[in-house]
Structure 1
Amino acid sequence: MSAAPKQLSPQKWVIISAIGFVLFLMAAILFSVLASQFNNISLSAYFFLLVIIALLAASFLGGALRSRAKYKGKAYGGTLEITGPAVIFFLLLYLGYKYQPTPSSFSLILTIYEVGNKNKPITTGEVTLIFNDFRDTKSLNKEGQVLFAQLPAAQKGQDVIVLVNADDHESKELKITIPLDDHPVINMGLAKKQAFVSVHGTVFSHNGELVKNALLNVNDGLAEGISDQLGNFNFRVPLKAGTEVKLRIYKDNKIKLDENIILSDEVSMTFRIDQ
Structure 2
Amino acid sequence: MAKETTMIERFKNLDRRIIFTLVAIAVIIPLLRPIGLKTDVTKEVKDVYDRIEKLQAGERVLLSFEYDPASKPEIHPMAIAITHHLLNKGVKIAVVALWPMGSEMADQVFELMKADSRFGHKFEDDGTTWVNLGYKAGGPTVIKLAGSKFQEAFPGSKSGVPFADIKILRGVKSISDFKMILSFSAGDPGLKQWVQIANAQYGVDVAGGVTAVSAPEFYPYYNSNQMFGILGGLKAAAEYEALIGVPGKATSGMDAQSVVHLVIIGFILFANAVYFIERKQMKGVE
- The one of the two structures with greater contact order (alpha-carbon pairs below 8 A, sep at least 6) is 2
Tell me whether the two structures share a fold, i.e. TM-score over 0.5.
no
TM bracket (short chain) = under 0.3
Higher Rg of the two aligned structures: 1
TM-score (ref. length: structure 2)? 0.17
